[in-house]
Amino acid sequence: MIADLISIVVPVYREQENIPLLVNEVASALDHVAYELILVDDGSDDDTFARIEEACQQDERVTGIQLRRNFGQTAAMSAGFDAARGEYIVYMDGDLQTDPADVACMLKRLKDDNLDMVNGWRRDRKDEGLKRNFPSRVANALIRTSTGLRLHDYGCPMKLIRSEVAKNLRLYGKQHRFLPAMAALYGARIGEEVVSHRARQFGESKYGLGRTVRVLVDLLLVLFFQRFTDRPLQLFGATGLVSFGVGFGIDLWLSLGKLLFDMELAGRPLLQFGSLLIISGVLLFGIGLIMEMQVRIYYESGSRRHYTIRRSIGGQYAEEKKE
């Protein structure tokens, strides 16, 4: 990790027209700071990577990474984070809708408030209302309500993160939308800064109404990681016990009715429903036990910890530094 170096990670897909403009904009906006620009081509089938190669030849601060196929924005982001060498990592889109000039004020905010991440807020968006604004508002409301992290614009494609936080985030699927939530799960201190937003000049948006459903699915996964990743038995075990208890109560009541009042049970689906709840409860509790053992194996076999340390001073840590 190089102190004071800013690594700008930009996943791109079919952005051949935007690459030269993006490289020039970054150079103009950040000519007073040390930076590296990492362009990750997510398997584009146009001349995007050819434009990246040209930029690398013209400017040694530009690095190009080409993925073998279209793995998705989250995978491209992770590839950029892994390659980054700077103390700070900026994540931004390659569609020119965000302005690299905002990096300076975001970095100042991060340092002044001693934050680990500054998330952009597109307060004045220039997108199409129905196609992008509406799905984004729905997604923001869902994430805000579910995670408890109070931000205005979780999906803003402009974020500044300390390198040690970004490199320890494990993102899969489409979880780039939940980068602030995953960083908060890691223990990061997060702030928000208003950034400019511009209309797209070239290419087409890769987002639409369909992403709201995908956000909901990924949100359930993030919530599981946030609350039960190191204690799955509390989720599956509790649900299993409730299911078993309700089913046992139903079948017990029906059994007593049969024994004491000669109640007819042959044509009553409630008996089958109670038995189904009992079986489901046993299965859920068993799944919780298996996942609990897997979690323990995951942490103990690899000497991993289910916590993160921000800073350590004195005592054994002071001795380790001397050595």
| pLDDT tens by residue, 23-77 | 999 999 998 899 999 999 999 999 999 999 999 999 999 999 999 888 888 888 9
- The confidence score (pLDDT) of residue 107 equals 95
For residue 297, CA distances in Å to 203, 255, 292, 294 come to 47, 43, 9, 5
Q: Which tokens hold the place of 107?
A: 């970095």
For residue 93, which amino acid is it?
Answer: D
Q: What is the pLDDT of residue 139?
A: 67
pLDDT, residue 265, reads: 76
Residue 183 and residue 147: Cα distance in Å, rounded?
12
Cα–Cα distance between 79 and 39 in angstroms, integer? Answer: 10
Strand, helix or coil for residue 187: coil
Q: Give the pLDDT of residue 317.
A: 44
Percent of the chain past pLDDT 90, that is, above it, reads 40
CA 135 to centroid of chain Cα atoms: 17
Taking alpha carbons only, the member of 202, 207, 205 closest to residue 21 is: 202
The mean pLDDT value of the chain amounts to 82
pLDDT surpasses 90 at 111? yes
Residue 307 has pLDDT above 70, yes or no: no
Q: What is the pLDDT of residue 316?
A: 47
What pLDDT, in 10s, does the model give residues 282-301? 999 999 888 888 877 766 66
Report the pLDDT value the prediction gives residue 282, as an integer from 0 to 100. 93
Does residue 5 carry a pLDDT above 90? yes
| pLDDT (mean) for 130-144 | 65
Q: Is the pTM of this model over 0.85?
A: no
Q: pLDDT tens digits, residue range 191-229?
A: 999 999 887 776 565 555 555 566 666 666 666 766 676
Written as six digits, the tokens of 209 are: 């109404």
Q: Do 78 and 62 form a contact (C-beta atoms < 8 A)?
A: no
Which residues are within 8 A (CB) of 120 and not within 5 positions of it... i.e. 6 or more apart? 98, 102, 106, 153, 156, 157, 158, 159, 192, 193, 194, 195
**Residue 58: which residues within 8 A CB-CB, separation 6 or more?**
23
With 90 as the cut, is the pLDDT of residue 151 above it?
Answer: no
> How much is the average pLDDT of 117-137?
74
pLDDT class of 105 with cuts at 50, 70, 90:
very high
CA 134 to each of CA 76, 146, 220: distance values in angstroms, whole numbers, following the listed order: 26, 18, 21
Look at residue 173 in the predicted model and tell me its pLDDT: 66
Residue 115 has pLDDT above 80, yes or no: yes
Report the sign of the C-alpha dihedral through residues 152, 157, 160, 166, in that order: positive
Fold of 2-227: Spore Coat Polysaccharide Biosynthesis Protein SpsA; Chain A (3.90.550)
Per-residue model confidence (pLDDT) at position 4: 87
Number of continuous H segments (helices) and E segments (strands) in the chain = 11, 7
Q: Is the dihedral of CA 177, 199, 93, 47 positive or negative?
A: positive
What is the end-to-end Cα distance of the chain in Å, rounded? Answer: 21
Q: Which residues of 288-314 are buried (b: 16+ CB within 10 A; e: fewer)?
A: beebbeebeeeeeeeeeeeeeeeeeee
Q: Would the pLDDT of 22 be above 70?
A: yes
* Contact (Cβ atoms closer than 8 angstroms) between residue 37 and residue 26: yes
Q: What is the mean predicted confidence (pLDDT) over 230-252?
A: 87
Q: Is the pLDDT of residue 124 over 90?
A: no
Q: What CA–CA distance (Å, rounded) separates 58 from 19?
A: 13
Task: Give the Cα separation of 217 and 51 in Å (integer).
Answer: 35
Write out the two tokens for 145: 């309500």
DSSP letter assigned to residue 101: G
